[in-house]
Amino acid sequence: MIGFERPEVLILLLGVLPMLYAGLKADKRFKEGLWASKILTFSLIVLALTYPFIETSSQLTEDPELEVLEDRSMSTEILEDPELEFEDVEKTSRVIASGNSSNLKDGIVRNIERNGNYLLKTDLQSDQSLEGLEDKINERNATLNLLKTDTKDDISVSINGPDSTVPGADNRYKVETYSTVDSELEPSVKVNGEPVGLEDTDEGRWSFEESFENEGVQTIEAEIDYDGYFNSNQKYYKAVDVREKPETLILGERGSLGEQLETFYNVEHTSSLPEDLSDYHSVIAKQDFDETELVDYVAEGNGLVHTGDLEEDYDILPVSPTGEDQDTDGAQIMLVIDASHTTGTEGPTGNIEESIDIAYALVDQLPGNNEVGAVAYQQEAYLISEPEPLVYNRENLKEDISRIETEGNTFHHKGLKGAEDALGDEEGNIIMISDGIIHPLGEEENTYEKASDIASRLSQQLITVGVGEDTNEEFLRELSNLGGGTYMDAEESSQLNFMFDAGGAETGTGELGVLDSTHFITENLEVSAQVLGFNPVEPKTGSDRLVASADGEPFLTTWNYGVGRVASFTGDDPDLSNLMSQEPSLVTRTLSWTVGDPERNREEWLNIESAREGETVDVRSSENFEKLTREGDNLYTGEIEPKSTGFHNFEGKTYSYNYNKQIERIGYNEENKDIISRTGGHIYEPGDEEDIVSDLETHAEREVTTEKSLTGYLLLLILVIFLSEVGYRKYRGKK
């Protein structure tokens, strides 16, 4: 391929050539043929000034190099570490994690270079998500390979669940085991020294419920009978502090939220904030409030949870309204399904399956903020479901529709009357799916006239969909005209979902996901709820985005205001009723976080946070105990570093100290193995040295494109032409 570094000079040549040609032709003294030499010489000089080049490709073979990225965090001690020996291969090694840190994503990204080929020695257990890692690897055209070795035998056990609760509340605790061996061992669990039964929920996972009646620290201990590599991770200790219910004030109308929180909190309601808030640990604001009444309260160490619509910017909240209007209202739709024998599989038309398929597909495809209900009818109508947002009712409605059975005669007016009764005077849409056939008994009942009368008075738009080969299209089309709608045949019914897909419907609902799993609120919490409606907000600098929709709409954002804690829910309704029905723990954890230490309003209190090896135990107290330092009025803090795992005691209060978190999730993380294949890498095992070398050599061979300049050849050609012209002149006697 020929190219030019300065193509503009070539363009200049094309413009000058005609003038040069005209000038030389005008020179009468010039012999025929010499003008061509002048033009050619000039052209070649200009062409040389464009620096022409030709591209050539060649195979470049480099010496193969093996670059090892080594994870030396504590969890990898369980991996066998064979020494890789290679001939004629230069091996280098870099450490990407060590000790108590397993931030693999950051470690890998820091140590990869463009076009590199790397071998990972890791168990793929990471403190941070590896999501997006393959994109960063592929951007640099690099490749990750994994050396998967044998592991030492070990089993770990742990307990997840509330660290604090209130008397009488039901608490669910999960017991998990991680293993590098094939084992069906079930851990034994004791609560206050008494054995409890476990419910097997999944492979390596069990659970149990416990309600504590007395205040004070209760103990839970899990143990698995196995002699593994790490001796300490076969026992787990959990101290549960059962405390008096914290006082919570809800600002706004009474609703379901307060009733659901009464299990864990003493809840009071108010329409306006009292002057003295000192008795309350946290305030839940479901409505607008005067910020000046809460600033000092929160800054001094209390909590605030905001759940209402956000129309003005409060300095105290971690989010600001964007001022954008977001239409999250969907359509209200009532399906009317003809389930008479004329549409049944044994009738003359036999198209109940087609009717069900149309209704089922519509419910399945519509955005979740559309409110959809259904009525089936024969000689009478029966309600399948009131209109509800599909985000909460989609699967149940699909299942109910699929179970419709046919029987009886066809009274079309009964179906329309059933939809009318369900919707009342509310605006909406009725979609009638039927063959429209009127049989003699229907004629006796005057179903034609009665159905027409109902269609003409409906407050809703009526859309009719015809099914079957003998469809009474004329009747169905007349009904839709009377109802201000349209008629469709079965094939056109696929367009229905597009009719109700406008008005922000797609963004009106969303499945929630955790953005930060390291926060107290979201740690070990898998949020899979769906909510209807998001407020258009922007998180402020310094805030923590914990939960958002799949489209990135913020849903739960937190921050610290002074020494107080503030959380803002920016979706669902002010009572968070939909979230509470699906994922109540997200709400209760959020309120618990804003409450903080519920004992701080007492004159005397002691709070000890349990910890794990590699961490210190934090102590806060109203009294000046030994080893504590004064931080403020009636506030003393300190740190304890126990010498062994188990239950310990400080000034009469029990706390737990467990094995290092690094050795809880042991063995290879199978969920992260896909990272290797998505970067084009391989998973090797000990003994695959020849394959590793072969792949390294293949990677070391690469095609290199070079540019070879043609300028020198052009100059040589110019010189030959010039000397030829001089020789020609001498030969003809020119001076």
Quick: pLDDT tens for 324-352.
Answer: 655 456 788 999 999 887 654 444 445 78
Q: Has residue 422 been placed in a domain?
A: yes
Q: Has residue 520 been placed in a domain?
A: yes
Higher confidence at residue 270 or residue 687? 270
C-alpha 598/C-alpha 592 separation (Å) is: 9
> In whole angstroms, how far apart are CA 613 and each of 159, 451, 646, 669?
16, 75, 11, 22
Q: Please name the amino acid found at residue 703.
A: E
Q: 547 in helix, strand or coil?
A: strand
Q: Are residues 394 and 491 in the same domain?
A: yes
Give the phi and the psi of residue 73 in degrees, each rounded to 5.
-65, 165
Among residues 499, 529, 550, which one ends one of the domains? 499
pTM for the full predicted model: 0.57
Specify whether the CB–CB gap between 627 and 676 falls below 8 A. no
Q: Are residues 346 and 460 in the same domain?
A: yes
Helices (H), 140-287: 256-261
Higher confidence at residue 306 or residue 263? 306
Q: Are residues 283 and 398 in the same domain?
A: no
**pLDDT-derived band of residue 452, with 50, 70 and 90 as boundaries?**
very high
Which residues are paired to 338 by β-bridges?
377
Q: Are residues 536 and 640 in the same domain?
A: no
**pLDDT-derived band of residue 3, with 50, 70 and 90 as boundaries?**
low
CA diameter of the chain: 127
Q: Has residue 176 been placed in a domain?
A: no
Q: Has residue 85 been placed in a domain?
A: yes
Rounded mean pLDDT of 238-245?
92
CATH code for position 268: 3.40.50.880
Q: Are residues 354 and 398 in the same domain?
A: yes
Quick: pLDDT tens for 521-558.
Answer: 988 788 878 787 788 899 998 899 999 887 778 999 99
Does the structure show a pLDDT above 80 at 65? no
Q: Please name the amino acid found at residue 363.
A: V
Q: Which of 599, 545, 598, 589 is nearest to 571 (CA)?
A: 545
> In whole angstroms, how far apart are CA 498 and each of 71, 151, 502, 604?
52, 55, 8, 64
Specify whether the CB–CB gap between 385 and 396 falls below 8 A. yes
Q: Are residues 344 and 486 in the same domain?
A: yes
Q: Which of 7, 683, 595 is nearest to 245 (CA)?
A: 595
Q: Has residue 239 been placed in a domain?
A: no
Q: Are residues 339 and 453 in the same domain?
A: yes
Among residues 576, 595, 614, which one ends one of the domains? 595
Q: Are residues 691 and 543 in the same domain?
A: no
**pLDDT-derived band of residue 725, with 50, 70 and 90 as boundaries?**
confident
Quick: pLDDT tens for 352-364.
Answer: 888 888 999 888 8
Quote the mean pLDDT of the chain. 84
Q: Has residue 201 been placed in a domain?
A: no
CATH code for position 339: 3.40.50.410
Among residues 499, 514, 530, which one ends one of the domains? 499
336 Cβ partners below 8 Å, 6+ apart? Answer: 374, 375, 376, 377, 381, 415, 416, 418, 419, 430, 431, 432, 433, 434
The range of the structural domain enclosing residue 84 comes to 65-149+671-704
Q: Has residue 252 been placed in a domain?
A: yes
Does the structure show a pLDDT above 90 at 38? no
Q: What is the DSSP letter of 297?
A: H
Q: Are residues 360 and 444 in the same domain?
A: yes
Which tokens is 31 given? 């012999």
C-alpha 5/C-alpha 54 separation (Å) is: 11
> In whole angstroms, how far apart are CA 14 and each of 17, 37, 307, 717, 721?
6, 17, 73, 20, 21
C-alpha 458/C-alpha 7 separation (Å) is: 74
What percent of the residues of the chain are helix, what percent strand, and what percent coil, each to the nearest 5? 30, 30, 40
Q: Are residues 572 and 586 in the same domain?
A: yes
Give the phi and the psi of residue 611 in degrees, each rounded to 5.
-145, -175
CATH code for position 81: 3.40.50
Q: Are residues 299 and 252 in the same domain?
A: yes
Q: Has residue 93 been placed in a domain?
A: yes
Helices (H), 469-621: 473-482, 496-499, 505-508, 577-582, 584-595
C-alpha 69/C-alpha 92 separation (Å) is: 9
Which residues are paired to 548 by β-bridges?
513, 554
Q: Which of 154, 153, 122 is nearest to 683 (CA)?
A: 122
Give the phi and the psi of residue 480 in degrees, each rounded to 5.
-65, -35
**Structural domain count, the chain:** 4
Angle of helix 390-402 relative to helix 352-365, nearest 10 degrees?
170
**pLDDT-derived band of residue 470, with 50, 70 and 90 as boundaries?**
confident
Long-range interactions of 584-589: CB distance < 8 A, separation 24+? 584/260, 585/525, 586/521, 586/522, 586/525, 586/527, 586/529, 586/547, 586/556, 587/257, 587/261, 588/261, 588/264, 589/520, 589/521, 589/522, 589/525
Q: Are residues 342 and 311 in the same domain?
A: no
**Which of the residue ranges 91-105, 402-416, 524-538 would you say has the lowest mean pLDDT?**
524-538
pLDDT at 202 (0 to 100): 79
CA dihedral 298, 303, 306, 310 (to 10 degrees): 20
Q: How many CA atoms lie within 13 A of 124 on its CB side?
A: 21
